[in-house]
Structure 1
């Protein structure tokens, strides 16, 4: 059945493609955060282990919301490692990195997802796509706050 939600097919496609990049970056950050949760060591182990768990748990919920928005727009959500690898700009984590490096990379990852979200706003505004704008506004707020909290661990 044809989708008739007040947006053109091209607008829905453009936004779904952008959301697919957000999903890929978010999923890649989820995997990296889980990796660092498992493998962090050193004096800040307990604090970072718990913090990373909170972050990957929050990301898991966000992944579902992003994918479901892509589906609501009438497009398939990417769902394989190969699809995510083609779309993401997040670099894989090194599980042998020291805690300081892990935190710095987590800040960079959070900021990357926020930027990827922001890139969509011109298309979202043109289409009058308030549900996607709402979703991405929350995502940006969450990623910026998480980056700030992680960044504070790097201050001396």
Structure 2
């Protein structure tokens, strides 16, 4: 049965493509945050171990919401590491930086995801896609707040 939600196929495709990039950024940031949670050491261990756990749990939940929106637009959601690597603007971390390096990378990751989200918002807004615009607005708020909290540790 054909989808008829008031957004034409061309616009739905553009939105789904943008959301796929946001999903890839979200999943890559989730994986990086979880890795840092496992590998944090030093004087900041307890506070960052706990903070990173809260953050990766939030990212995990967000990934599901983003993927389900892509599916609601009638497109497949990317779901493999190879797809995420191609789509993500956030790069993987092959090593284990010190706590400051971890925090700096996570600040950069959240700011990158916010920029990706802003690009999707523009496309969704132009297509009169309120559900996607709302989802992206919530993601922007989460990424900007998390970046601020992490950035505050570096001062």
Which range, TM-score by smaller chain? Answer: over 0.9
2:59 alignment counterpart: 59
Q: Residues of 1 paired with 2:129 and 2:146: CA distance?
A: 26
2:147 alignment counterpart: 147
Q: Deviations over 1:66-103 (max 9, x none)?
A: 00000000000000000101101111124421000000
Deviation, 1:37, is: 0.3
2:82 alignment counterpart: 82
Q: Residues of 1 paired with 2:123 and 2:110: CA distance?
A: 22
TM-score (structure 2 length as normaliser): 0.98
8 Å contact from structure 2 (residues 121, 132) kept in 1: no
2:137 alignment counterpart: 137
Q: Residues of 2 paired with 1:108 and 1:37: CA distance?
A: 17
2:43 alignment counterpart: 43
- Determine helix, strand or coil for the equivalent of 2:138: helix
Q: Residues of 2 paired with 1:104 and 1:13: CA distance?
A: 34
- Determine helix, strand or coil for the equivalent of 2:41: coil
- Is 87-96 or 47-56 further displaced after alignment? 87-96
Q: Residues of 2 paired with 1:47 and 1:25: CA distance?
A: 25
Task: Report runs of 4+ in structure 1 exceeding 4 Å deviation.
Answer: none
Task: Extract unaligned runs of 5+ from structure 2.
Answer: none
Task: Extract unaligned runs of 5+ from structure 1.
Answer: none
1:104 alignment counterpart: 104
Q: Deviations over 1:98-140 (max 9, x none)?
A: 0000001010001000100001122111210000000000000
Q: Give the number of equivalent residue pairs.
A: 155
8 Å contact from structure 1 (residues 35, 93) kept in 2: no
